[in-house]
Structure 1
């Protein structure tokens, strides 16, 4: 039920609600990480990652919520480090159907996103991820949204 409420909140037009949902995802992800990535809480929480990433890329999340959304993506990936790689592959395949020319650019952008980042929850890696996340968004929005 909490995950369903978070889904609704993420798609809200209010910056405050979206940010609060992202902050809640970070807290729940940190707790789920201590329980291991195969527990039922982690599995249901990880379903939010695809929605969150699509909202971010399609610019359907309030701009002021973007830093909190990046923190949520990082926290979710710390629960299951292979998560972001799988989401990247899904996203690239989805965009490849409509515009195959963007595949190399998306692959490069996702490479920038994870460059030098360990998904261990430590502050230096969170900060590096946030910096990479900003570069990733600038790049992706530059070639996907312009079209």
Structure 2
């Protein structure tokens, strides 16, 4: 592994790359997140590397929900969310709660719909990194996107 300072610089570069308008850059960043997640998963979710990498999850999910990531990068973004959640399985639940609170401030009527959408996302998925669960998550992720984008009007 890199020294943690260098690793943090890589994470910051990924943060900038995720907000790029280019599909190639966004997809490459998501693929890099998957690779790094697979490496740091073995270190435990409280390692400085995991903690640094996990800071990307909220940004990534917010970009996805707000449709601010290039559409062609969406599958790679879903894979990155899955890989990050494999590092810390409680991660997605915590981020879902934060996002629901953010969107609830704008329109409280969306809260039950968002809660149901996040239940769809994690339905039947174990965050163990096995292919079967990755594929199930990707299928759930597609349903999640259709559901969320169907009722959220994000400006």
Q: CA deviation at 1:34?
A: 1.0
- Normalising by the residue count of structure 1, what TM-score does the alignment of the two structures yield? 0.98
Are residue 54 (structure 1) and residue 62 (structure 2) matched? yes
SS in 1 for 2:102: helix
Match of 1:136 in 2: 144
Match of 1:105 in 2: 113
Are residue 43 (structure 1) and residue 59 (structure 2) matched? no
Match of 1:93 in 2: 101
**Residues 30-54 of structure 1: CA distance to partner in whole angstroms, max 9, x if unpaired?**
0010111111000000000000000
**Residues 110-131 of structure 1: CA distance to partner in whole angstroms, max 9, x if unpaired?**
0000000000000000000000
Are residue 4 (structure 1) and residue 12 (structure 2) matched? yes
Aligned length: 147
Match of 1:75 in 2: 83
CA contact (8 A) 2:66 2:154 kept: no
Structure 1 unaligned blocks of 5 or more: none
**Residues 87-116 of structure 1: CA distance to partner in whole angstroms, max 9, x if unpaired?**
000000111111000000000000000000
Q: Over the residues paired in the alignment, what is the CA RMSD in angstroms?
A: 1.0
CA contact (8 A) 2:18 2:30 kept: yes
Cα distance in structure 2, aligned partners of 1:98 and 1:34? 39
SS in 2 for 1:47: helix
Structure 2 unaligned blocks of 5 or more: 1-8
Match of 1:29 in 2: 37
